[in-house]
Structure 1
Amino acid sequence: MEKKPREYLRVTEQDSDLIARLIIPPQSPEAFHSFYEDFTLRGIRVDQFQPGSISCSFTVPPRLTDRNGNLAVGAIANLVDEIGATMVHEKDVPMNVSVDMSISYLSTAKLNDELEISAKLLGGKGAVKGTLVVLKNKITGEMIAEGRHSLFSVTRSKI
């Protein structure tokens, strides 16, 4: 028999212990990244970067898994958001804002699975740009998720 939602969402003592053991380093005032980015992106290795595309490797850590040991869907959405935003980032330009994300969850990734994350810039029109982010199991080649991500950026003044 499946657990009821209230029982499934109940925070256990084990969950509390995991959170209590987190080591959160202090952020310096001049840091350009947040705790959120550091927590979720720690461990990503860039394998190849070219204008318009990027390829990364990532081992699923315990901090990003759900109670069943699968990579959490929220972590996948975060990876699509962060990696997609990397594709449109420009130095000294205001931050891009996500306006739309569409993610197809096709399979699951387990704790310690090695993932390949590839992203490419699909194009843009005016201040809106689109990216495609794909997560695959590096060993089996099985596609875990595919995300399309649209971002908006304030354009530079011509004055």
Structure 2
Amino acid sequence: MNLELVKQYLEGDKKDEDESKVANLPPRFIERFVAKGIKVDLIEPGRIVCSMKVQPHLLEEIEIESKALRVGKAVAVVSVELRKKKDGKLIAQGRHTKYLAPRSKL
């Protein structure tokens, strides 16, 4: 897996910031829509560290760190931590378990 391509996908294209997003929505647009504004600080196999600016009324940058705890044939488990970028204080922590459906052979 090319980690640089993953980083480019998450951060989005710099050139398309001024274009109409509605006219150019990719088939899985919600992923990029939710991730808009994310800056990838570190990417390595099984781990991504991102940062983003939160709503203007908070005037604070946060850091998002996610780790793949387990990736099997049928289930994947991911841990996510949100911290204040300035002092590293933990804001929120979450864990996500996802069923990995087998790909169709058709």
Superposition TM-score tier, normalisation by shorter sequence: 0.5 to 0.7
- Contact 1:59-1:113 within 8 A present in 2 as well: yes
| Structure 1 residue 123 corresponds to structure 2 residue 70 | yes
State how 1:37-52 maps to structure 2 within 5 Å: 37-38=32-33, 40-52=34-46
Q: Structure 1 unaligned segments of length 5 or more: list them.
A: 1-23, 63-68, 70-110
**Partners in 1 of 2:86 and 2:94 — Cα distance?**
21
**Partners in 2 of 1:148 and 1:43 — Cα distance?**
22
Q: Structure 2 unaligned segments of length 5 or more: list them.
A: 1-19
**Partners in 1 of 2:31 and 2:104 — Cα distance?**
31
Equivalent residue letter for 1:133: V
Larger radius of gyration: 1
Alpha-carbon distance, 1:127 to partner: 1.1
Aligned to 1:153: 100
| Structure 1 residue 33 corresponds to structure 2 residue 28 | yes
Equivalent residue letter for 2:54: V
Q: Does 1 or 2 have the higher relative contact order (CA < 8 Å, sep 6+)?
A: 1
| Structure holding more helix per residue | 1
Deviations 1:9-65 (A, max 9, x none): xxxxxxxxxxxxxxx731436x13325741x32211001111100011111124xxx
Query: What RMSD in Å do the two structures reach over aligned CA positions?
Result: 2.5
Please report the TM-score for the alignment, with normalisation by the length of structure 1: 0.47
**Partners in 1 of 2:100 and 2:27 — Cα distance?**
18
- Contact 1:27-1:35 within 8 A present in 2 as well: no
Identical-pair percentage: 36
Please report the TM-score for the alignment, with normalisation by the length of structure 2: 0.68
Moved over 3 A (4+): 156-159
| Structure 1 residue 143 corresponds to structure 2 residue 93 | no
Deviations 1:65-115 (A, max 9, x none): xxxx4xxxxxxxxxxxxxxxxxxxxxxxxxxxxxxxxxxxxxxxxx22111
